[in-house]
A and B are shown apart, each in its own frame.
Chain A
C-alpha cells in the first residue's frame, strides 16, 4: 500500500492545479474566455468525441505513418554515417556539405518544399526526413569514430577481413549510440511533423489542431496537443526500452 501512496504523492500538485483549472473555467471565466480555455472536463469530453467519431485515430495514424515512412528513408543515414566514420576521405569531402545543411531547421524548408512537392504527404515526409536524418547521421559518425581501437585490432588478429571488421565489430560496437541518434531523430522529426502538418497537410495531428482553431474548437486543440505530446513521449520510451533490452551490455544506454 505504501508503494502506491508514494507513487500517488507525486501527482498531488498536478491534481490540485487541474481541479483549480476546472473550477476557474466554470465559475470565474465568462463565456468568451471559457471558449479560449475549456475546463479539463471539456477537454475530456472533446477527447471522447474525437475518439468515438474515429477522427482522432485517423489523424493519429496518418501522422504516425508519415513519421514511419520518413524514418525508413532517413535510415540511409546509418550506412552513410558508417562510411563517413570509417573512411577519412569520405568524411572530409562530405563534412562541409553536412555542416551547411545541418544547421537549417527542417521547418525552414517548408516554403521551398511546398513549391517542390505541393501540399501533401510527400512534402510532409520530406520535412520529417530532414528532422530525422541529421541526428542519426551525426551520432553514427561519432559512434563509429569512438569505437575502441583495440576491438578492431582484436578482430583483425583473429583473422577478420576489413568487411568483417566493419559489419561484425564496428557496426555492433556503434549500435548503442546509433540508437540514441535514432531516438533523438525521431523526436526532432516528430516536432518537424507537427509544423509541416500545420501548413501543408489535410490530415494528421498537426492539421487537426490548426483545423480546430478555425472553428474555435479549443477543446479539440488541447486534445490534439496532448496527443502529440503523449505520442512523442511514447515513441521515445519504446525506443529506449527496446534498446536496453537488446543491448543490456551497453553503459551508454544505462545498462
Chain B
C-alpha cells in the first residue's frame, strides 16, 4: 500500500508542492490525480468533476521529459491542441508558448538536438498548451544538474507569472518546494499520509539567505528527518 489516508485540497492558482522521501507515495498521489492510477478508496475531484481517467484538464510534466522524439519542438507543443481539431502548428497560441519558454530559435529542432533543460521547457510548454485546469509536475527538474535546476526554478516562476496555473509539484528537494510554492505538503514515509501542511510566507519572494527562509527550511527538514527510516541509514 503506497498511501494510507490522504485528504488534500488545492486552491485555484495555488502552487502546491508535495514533499517527502522516496517511497512515501507522492508520485502515486500525483499519478492518481492524473488518472494513471486509481485509488482503492476515496475520490478525487478536479474543478467539481470526478477524476476517473487521464485528461487534458490535468496535464503532466514528467521527470524524463517524455517528449515525442519524432516531432519537432513546435509539433510537440502543438500536439494536444491539434488533437482537438484544426489547429495549425503555426497557431499563435503555440508560438506564444514557444516564446514563453524561450525556445523560439529552436522551434524546428528535434528533442535529441536539445539539452535536458531545453527539453524540460518544451515539456512544460506542451503541458500548458492544452490549457489544463491543473498542471502536474513529477520531480521535473530532478534530472538536471544543480545550476540548471536553479535556473529552471526561476524560469518556472517567470512562466507562471504570465500563464497563471494551479500547480501540483512533487519533489524531494526542500529548497525547490520553498522556492516555488504557496503551500507545502509534507508526507510521512510509506504508507504515506499528510504529515503537515505548511503555508509559505511571502511565496517566491523570500531571499535564500533570509532568516525566515532558513527557519522554514529547518522546520521542514526536521519534519522529514523524523520520517527517515533509520534502517536506510545503517
Interaction A to B: yes
Q: Which residues of B come within 8 Å of A, CB atoms?
A: 34-36, 53-56, 58-60, 62, 64, 66-70, 79-80, 83-84, 110-112, 126-127, 129-130, 136
Is there an interface contact between B69 and A158, defined as CB atoms closer than 8 Å?
no
Having A153-B34, A157-B34, A247-B70, one finds 15 other A-B pairs with CB under 8 Å, namely: A150-B62, A154-B126, A156-B53, A157-B54, A157-B58, A158-B80, A158-B129, A159-B84, A164-B83, A172-B68, A172-B70, A173-B68, A249-B70, A251-B112, A255-B112
> In whole angstroms, how far apart are the Cα atoms of A103 and B69 in the complex?
35
Whether, in the assembled complex, A122 has its beta carbon less than 8 Å from a beta carbon of chain B, the answer is no
Interface residues of chain B: helix, strand, loop or mixed (majority): loop
A-B contact pairs, 13 of them (CB 8 A): A151-B66, A151-B68, A154-B60, A154-B126, A156-B54, A157-B54, A158-B56, A158-B83, A158-B129, A168-B83, A172-B70, A250-B69, A255-B112
Q: Which of A169, A248, A255 contacts B68 (CB 8 A)?
A: A169
On chain B, the residues within 8 Å of A155 by CB distance are 68, 79
Minimum distance in angstroms from B162 CB to a CB of chain A: 21
On chain A, the residues within 8 Å of B83 by CB distance are 158-161, 164, 168
Minimum distance in angstroms from B221 CB to a CB of chain A: 31
On chain B, the residues within 8 Å of A153 by CB distance are 34, 36, 54, 60, 62, 66
Given A150-B64, A157-B35, A159-B130, A248 contacting B110 (CB threshold 8 A): yes
Whether, in the assembled complex, A95 has its beta carbon less than 8 Å from a beta carbon of chain B, the answer is no
Which 7 A-B residue pairings sit nearest by Cβ, starting from the closest?
A159-B56, A158-B80, A156-B54, A150-B66, A154-B66, A249-B69, A157-B54
